[in-house]
Amino acid sequence: MPNIREHPNIRWFILLTVSVGTFMSTLDSSIVNVALPTISSAFKTDLETLQWVVTAYLLTISSLLPIFGRLADILGRKRVFSTGFIIFTIGSALCGLSTNVFMLIGFRVFQAIGASMLMANSQAITVSAFPASERGRALGLTGTTVALGSLTGPALGGLIVGLIGWKYIFYINVPIGIIGFIVSQIILPNDKRSTGREPFDFSGAFLFSVGMVALLFAINNGEDYGWSSTPILLGIIAGLILLIAFYVVEQKVKVPMINLSLYKIKPFAIGNISGFLSFVSTFCNTMLLPFVLQHSFNWTPETIGLLMTSYPVVMAIFAPTSGYLSDKIGPVFLTTGGLVINALGMFFLATIGIHSLFWYIMIGPILMGIGTGMFQSPNNSSVMGAVPKTMLSTAGGLNALVRNLGMVVGTTLAVSVFDGKQTRILAGLTQPTITQQVNASLSAYHTVMIIGGVISLAASLLSISRKGYLSSDLNKGNPSS
């Protein structure tokens, strides 16, 4: 029987296997949100407590991504990635079996451990499997998988909850996870055994994970608790102290958990920072637009969902195309142009009014989908192509962490600016009319969109600066080939 790993197109089977893990972990980031009201009724708990079902998942993934990236570079990518399937699948089953909200939150943490093992290694496995001439296209298809996971989550979640119950939004992962594990054992290349195993930096891992959880907790909940409240101030202070201590320790450890010298590689540093700013900018709109359309425009959830779908659909179309083009012409034009188009989309949304038509408002998300699709694949290709092959998983974990941090910071920035501007406009009005409330909401939304657009333009200026650091060898992918 022929060995499938010797098939001439094995790299595409590897990409398909990795995409299953990427799709599952991305899907589970969004599929739960639509079920929260139903779960709240089932467990007789308030939405504020239940929100930790989402928050705990996010915090766990963000704190563990670099750790599992580093472990994969030491123990092997296939080993860590396939174990991620097992943990994620077991965690999903346990979530469905939960009998109270605290069990569900705990099992979501367990599930997130598996998701972080999958996320931290997907880019590294993909980059290792493909030659430099096809890297951008492969990462573009991965970007499409992420978009499809985000797109499918709310729609599939609503369908499952309505037809068979909320528990099955978790049970659906079980057969997919089992298949993913089996296929990963057959398809993924075996890990090469190293002659001498490097030690793992446990002190660095502890300081980073706890510090990141504390800081992200504060950022994520600052608006709800109040930025001057004791829990938020303690979270910020503790998080910063622990992360500073982490930096100091990493300078002294012989084999650090995160080799900070990666950030001396200019394309890696520029790509990570511009990627972070891109997600901050994009997520300024992700949460606010549905809120404004529902509360100010009185649109139905179905209409809002249809409009919001335009963003991931357009992104799914442009991501593989831009990845393919970046293999031919390099990343600079595409990443910079994508960020500029994203900014134009946000500036356009700053012009919508209460009488704007559906098709007119949709232009904004479409432009943002084009811009994000143009930016993400070439940027990821540039970042991953700039690092040594032995550090691909570490780099992939850091790249995924940047995405999560950008989402959290963008959402928090948007809500803070929106609420602050709206409050200032309505200050002094004891009983504001509906018209005054709508005008205040729109004005605050416009302000957030302008800020998001400016952030995207700043990212474009940073992105274009990578041109001077992309040598012909780097563009050919020599560092990781």
Provide mean pLDDT across the span 145-157: 70
Provide mean pLDDT across the span 338-359: 94
For residue range 40-62, what is the model confidence (pLDDT) as tens digits? 888 887 766 777 887 788 888 88
CATH of 261-467, one of 3.90.580.10, 3.40.50.10420, 3.20.20.140, 1.20.1250.20: 1.20.1250.20
> Percentages helix, strand, coil for the chain, rounded to the nearest 5?
85, 0, 15
Confidence of residue 348 (pLDDT cuts 50, 70, 90): very high
Per-residue model confidence (pLDDT) at position 460:
94
User: Of residues 224 and 276, which shows the higher confidence score?
Assistant: 276
Tokens of 204: 């660095």
Residue with tokens 């650091």: 469
- 37 near 50, Cβ under 8 Å? no
Per-residue model confidence (pLDDT) at position 5:
63
Across 431-450, b (16+ Cβ under 10 Å) vs e yields eeeeeebbbbbbebbbbbbb
Tokens of 357: 């038509």
Listed range (135-149, 281-295, 298-312, 359-373) with the worst mean pLDDT = 135-149
Half-sphere exposure (Cβ direction) of 79: Cα atoms closer than 13 Å: 12
Provide mean pLDDT across the span 382-397: 78
Per-residue model confidence (pLDDT) at position 225:
82
DSSP string, 112-155: HHHHHHHHHHHHHHHHHHS-HHHHHHHHHHHHHHHHHHHHHHHH
Please report, for the chain, the start and end positions of each structural domain, with discontinuous segments joined by +: 8-188, 201-256, 261-467
Measured in Å, how far apart are the chain's first and last C-alpha atoms?
Answer: 30
Listed range (90-104, 316-330, 364-378) with the worst mean pLDDT = 316-330
Q: How far is CA 29 from the centre of its chain?
A: 9
Per-residue model confidence (pLDDT) at position 473:
37
Provide mean pLDDT across the span 368-382: 88
Encoded amino acid at 197, one letter: R
Q: Which candidate, 182, 171, 68, 167, places its Cα nearest to that of 125?
A: 68
Listed range (189-193, 313-317, 338-342, 374-378) with the worst mean pLDDT = 189-193
For the beta carbon of residue 454, count every other beta carbon within 10 angstroms.
14
CA 456, CA 479: separation in Å to the nearest integer?
Answer: 29
Tokens of 59: 């915090």
Query: What is the phi/psi pair of residue 353, to 5°?
Result: -130, 175
CA 201, CA 208: separation in Å to the nearest integer?
Answer: 11
Residue with tokens 């939004």: 169
pLDDT at 456 over 70: yes
Length of the chain: 481
**Secondary structure (H, E, C), 190-258:** CCCCCCCCCCCCHHHHHHHHHHHHHHHHHHHHHHHHCCCCHHHHHHHHHHHHHHHHHHHHHHHCCCCCC
Fold of 8-188: Growth Hormone; Chain: A; (1.20.1250)
For the beta carbon of residue 123, count every other beta carbon within 10 angstroms.
26
CA 20, CA 15: separation in Å to the nearest integer?
Answer: 9
Q: What is the mean pLDDT of the chain?
A: 83
Confidence of residue 104 (pLDDT cuts 50, 70, 90): very high
Q: Which candidate, 249, 23, 16, 290, places its Cα nearest to that of 153?
A: 23
3-state DSSP assignment of residue 385: coil
Tokens of 174: 């079980």
pLDDT at 121 over 90: no
Per-residue model confidence (pLDDT) at position 340:
96
Per-residue model confidence (pLDDT) at position 363:
95
- 323 near 144, Cβ under 8 Å? no
Q: Which candidate, 297, 310, 34, places its Cα nearest to that of 160?
A: 34
CA 440, CA 446: separation in Å to the nearest integer?
Answer: 10
- 293 near 471, Cβ under 8 Å? no
Tokens of 130: 């493909």
CA 190, CA 384: separation in Å to the nearest integer?
Answer: 21
Q: Give the CA angle between residues 383, 202, 405 to the nearest 5°.
A: 40
Q: Which candidate, 122, 125, 136, 129, places its Cα nearest to that of 26?
A: 122
Residue with tokens 């943990």: 87
- 273 near 281, Cβ under 8 Å? no
Q: Which candidate, 262, 279, 1, 317, places its Cα nearest to that of 148?
A: 317
* 8-188 and 261-467 agree in CATH topology: yes
Residue with tokens 């038509």: 357
Q: Is 471 left (phi over 0), alpha (psi -120 to 50) or beta?
A: beta
Q: Which candidate, 375, 364, 373, 371, places its Cα nearest to that of 315?
A: 373
